[in-house]
Chain A
Amino acid sequence: MIPMHPERGATPDEVRWVIPDGVFQRRGRVVDVPQALRQLIDGGVIASINVETDAVVIRLHHTEDWRIAGPTIRSALAAALARPADWHFAPGAAIRITPI
């Protein structure tokens, strides 16, 4: 399981799920994710997902509460992080260049 923990984001509806550096090769807005997480997007729980260097930033739909939805999102995120190849980024998302 990929190590991760939640930290408060820039706004109350945002949480930064801190993950180890190097899980993803790209950064930016995510347009498609593995099924466990996609169900939460389709169900209107998650409003958006962005990948940063060391975190996945998830914004909740304004009707949702992190203390209630948080545990479900964590489990779904843990499952999705196991399949990084199934994450699809919006055009223009930054590609991570690993220094040689």
Chain B
Amino acid sequence: MHDHGAHGGSATAVAETAPRMALIGSPNSGKTTLFNALTGLRAKTANYPGVTVSRSEGVCPVDGQPVVLEDVPGTYSLDPVSPDEQIVSDLLHDRLQGVARIDGLISVADATTLHRSLVLLAHVLNVERPTCLVVTFLDALAQRQGHLDTRKLSRAIGIPVVGVIATRGQGLDAVRDLIADPSAWSTPVVPPPIELGEVDAWIESVLAAADYRPPLPDSRTSRVDAVLLHPVWGTLTFLVVMFAFFQSIFTLAAPLQDWVAQFFGWLGGLVSDHISNRWVSGLIGDALIGGVGGVITFLPQILLLFVLISLLESVGYMARAAFLMDRVMARARLDGRAFVALLSSVACAIPGIMATRTLPSAKDRLATMMAAPLMTCSARLPVYVMLIGMLVRPGQRIGPFPAQGTVMFLLYLAGAISAMLIARVWKSLLDRRGTVMPFYMELPPYRMPSLRSVALAVWDAASAFLRKVTRIILLTTLVLWLLLNLPARSDSALTQAGVDAKDQAAVSAYVIDHSPAAAIGRAVEPVFRPLGFDWRINIGVLASLSARETFVSTLGMVASSENPEKPAEALEQMTVQRGPDAGRKLFDAGTIAAMLVFFIYALQCMSTIAILRRESGAWKWPAMAFGYLFALAWVLAWLARLIVNTVRG
């Protein structure tokens, strides 16, 4: 559910003659906040040609004229060690085919970590392209008794320098004035040194000339970090935070979900009451409302997931989580960067797999990519919520905790632990020497989350989810609906088959039972029968290969055809229709457990397979990932069913 095309595309509509500026800075330098403030969030997100490193372009109007701004990936250096940094280096040196030449560079530096930012600036100035410096977080510097004279800094470096507080809009006019004409920018009389000793001497001298006083350590951050980065308390806090979150999925989002479900139930009732044509009624009622609407009912959970992720990121907690997990990752012979990639996969495996480009080692990248689909992405959320709802009653508790949220937490935990174990296995297979690259990561001070950035992240997630629902899920659902309802049968044919043509439920049951989808589902029954799946679940599983949520829409369609107003009840009352288990409740505890475990492991996402192909450069890796994850899913689902059935007698 990654957003590859957000916010329109104003940059592409701008004349090619418009000046182009690139914002360059280290991660957490405030670069993207500045970019958003200057472009007014009218950015276009895409990839650089031939690679999957993301690229954001936007337009900043200056005196009525457009200036194209490009927000390049954050980097610490122009000596690339990862694909991300390679792109920045290539962009600055005009080595990227299909990307227009950059007219000016806006170097962004965090005032609270200025020494490190100037190392990157020294490299940038040696590219010999018009460059200006924008210093961010001046408010944080002042709050912690630091000081900087930007006028003196400009004189010492020899380029224009502007101080901004982007979140409050301070200094943005000065930046706009500046970027109108990069050819007028002053340049250093001698480019700064880039050799280690000389660059340190240059930075020390420049900062002294600018009356720079570094900020005092952030005592609040230090006190909080003493707990959150502690091996024991930090890990406990991490687990408690995650546990509380999964409880909130049910306690906070469930009522909202009920309202959405009631709305679609009401719509479904209207359709069955007012549309007499069986085909039109089925298409709208079963496919659109029962199927696609069934997936949309999980929007509150998706929103809540992204609110939490965005809050944790903006506060600065995610970086701590990565730091904490570096120790754990080291056991898998991977570094903390791999955990960042895995953590990104909690939202969606696609950005997670793309985040592996920050890993310097190709073998580490592959090991992490192969494990990333195991992290529980938001697409699994609707499936889990639906299945847990059938497995555990809302009032049930495990000890003092509500059982539904606890099961959800355990599923996420199982995904995360499996991902780490699998990453270790792949790392062992790919890199027998087990070399671990040095890893450093900045821990930003804790900051109050910006409501705007949280809202933006949630909006992006919601719109990406709805786009997915209205595209791939809608398409798959429509195809499946056709497969479930073809061939069309006349009243006489139904009567001949012994079905009362006026009994809508009987007709639906007969049509679906004799559909091509049922034939496909039955054809694969030998594969899935040991897991307790019948042809209806099989069709859902096969459909979910396009996107996991389609499992919900498929079962929604089948259930809606039986009871359009209360599909959930219809689902729970389904029984196995034939074979030795005929009459058994279809969704019994063992089968639900098998389905949950199957969804933890199986790689059911075409987009993930496509991105694995692009990132790894060969089909063999996604093919292997699909194969081993399917085998793992099947075996563990079978075991789960066996254990549950044995325990329940």
A→B interface (CB under 8 Å): 1-8, 15, 18-20, 66-67, 70-71, 73-75, 78
Contacts and interface: CB of A to CB of B under 8 A. Distances in A.
A67 B205 contact: no
Contacts of B206: 5
Interface string B168-198: 0000000000000000000011111100011
Looking at A7, A73, A78, which has the most chain B CB atoms within 10 Å of its CB?
Answer: A7
Nearest to B206: A5
Contacts of B190: 6, 15, 66-67, 70-71, 73-74
Question: Which label, helix, strand, loop or mixed, suits the secondary structure of the A interface?
Answer: mixed
Given A70-B190, A74-B193, A75-B198, A3 B204 contact: yes
B205 A4 contact: yes
A5 B189 contact: no
Contact of A71 (B158, B193, B204, B209): B193
B189 A1 contact: no
Interface of B: 155-158, 188-193, 197-198, 200-202, 204-206, 208-209
A2 B188 contact: no
Given A67-B191, A70-B191, A18 B202 contact: no
Nearest to B194: A71
Contacts of A19: 205
Nearest to A1: B201
Contacts of B193: 71, 74
A5 B191 contact: no
A1 B198 CA distance: 7
B198 A78 contact: yes
Given A70-B189, A70-B190, 4 more contacts: A67-B190, A70-B191, A74-B190, A78-B198
A74 B158 CA distance: 16
A12 to B, nearest CB: 9
A1 B156 contact: no
A6 B189 contact: yes
Contacts of A4: 201-202, 205
Contacts of A75: 198
B156 A18 contact: yes
A85 B623 CA distance: 71
Contacts of B189: 6-8, 15, 66-67, 70
Contacts of B158: 6-8
Contacts of B155: 7
**Nearest 10 CB-CB pairs, A to B?**
A70-B190, A3-B205, A3-B204, A5-B205, A1-B201, A6-B190, A3-B201, A5-B206, A8-B189, A1-B197
B201 A78 contact: yes
15 contacts: A1-B200, A2-B201, A5-B157, A5-B192, A5-B209, A6-B158, A6-B188, A6-B189, A7-B155, A8-B158, A8-B189, A67-B191, A70-B191, A71-B191, A75-B198
A10 B444 CA distance: 42
Contacts of B156: 5, 7, 18
A1 B203 CA distance: 12
Nearest to B156: A5
A5 to B, nearest CB: 4
B198 A3 contact: no
Contacts of B208: 3, 20
B618 to A, nearest CB: 44
A18 B198 CA distance: 14
B114 to A, nearest CB: 14
B198 A74 contact: yes
A74 B198 CA distance: 9
A76 B506 CA distance: 94
A47 B190 CA distance: 17
A15 B189 CA distance: 8
A75 B53 CA distance: 38
Contacts of A73: 190
A67 to B, nearest CB: 7
A8 B190 CA distance: 9
A96 to B, nearest CB: 19
A4 to B, nearest CB: 5
B151 to A, nearest CB: 13
Contacts of A74: 190, 193, 198
A73 B155 CA distance: 20
B198 to A, nearest CB: 6
A18 B192 CA distance: 13
A46 B201 CA distance: 22
Contacts of A3: 201-202, 204-205, 208
Looking at B188, B189, B190, B191, which has the most chain A CB atoms within 10 Å of its CB?
Answer: B190
A65 B368 CA distance: 50
Contacts of A20: 205, 208
Nearest to A68: B190
A66 B190 CA distance: 6
Contacts of B197: 1
Contacts of A66: 189-190
A97 B183 CA distance: 45
A42 B206 CA distance: 30
A55 to B, nearest CB: 10
Contacts of B201: 1-4, 78
A3 B192 CA distance: 12
Nearest to B186: A8
A6 B157 CA distance: 8
Contacts of A5: 156-157, 192, 202, 205-206, 209
Nearest to A2: B201
A45 B122 CA distance: 25
